[in-house]
Amino acid sequence: MDHWTTIRALRSLFRVLTLMLIAVSCISCGDTPSDSLVLADWKTLLAKDVTCGESVRFTDARVMDKSVDGPTASIRLIVTGDWIGATDCTFKEGPCTEFRKEHGSQQKVVKTMIYEKTDAAWQFKQLG
């Protein structure tokens, strides 16, 4: 094999490997928790946190973006809510963190939901 034949073979191999890498990355791009799953899990979180529900009335939640790192997905939500509690309190964890009475109505807060991929499906693990 001469020098130019080797170079042409390497270029062809490089093109094939590039196309394979693109194909593999595109397959994994669509594998994230669905918006409907994330929003259902958000509603479940709200239903479990009674104290939070007495202070904040959530009016909207929308998926802002998603990122996946191996079996872990991080989903960011933009959450809108109105402070309805009589007094201000500081929530150290849960859906109401970052909401404050002094901020009034239509507060927007970014929440991160962490998911783990199991054999069957994506499972909600924690609110980040």
If asked whether residues 6 and 42 sit together in one domain, one would say: no
What is the domain range of residue 53?
Answer: 32-127
Indicate if 21 and 68 belong to the same structural domain. no
Say if CB 58 and CB 46 are below 8 A apart. yes
* One domain for residues 74 and 15: no
pLDDT digits (tens, 9 = 90+) for 62-121: 999 999 999 999 999 999 999 999 888 888 899 999 999 999 999 999 999 999 999 889
State whether 43 and 90 are in the same domain: yes
71 lies in the same domain as 18: no
* Count of structural domains, the chain: 2
The DSSP 8-state label assigned to residue 71 in this structure reads: T
- Is the domain of 41 the same as that of 101? yes
pLDDT bracket for residue 50 (50, 70, 90) = confident
Q: Do residues 40 and 102 both lie within one domain?
A: yes
Quote the pLDDT of residue 16.
56
**CA distances to 5, 7, 42, 66, 91 from 107, in Å:** 65, 60, 17, 22, 15
In this structure, are 42 and 53 located in the same domain? yes
12-30 pLDDT per residue, tens: 666 655 545 454 443 444 5
Predicted TM-score (pTM) of this structure: 0.72
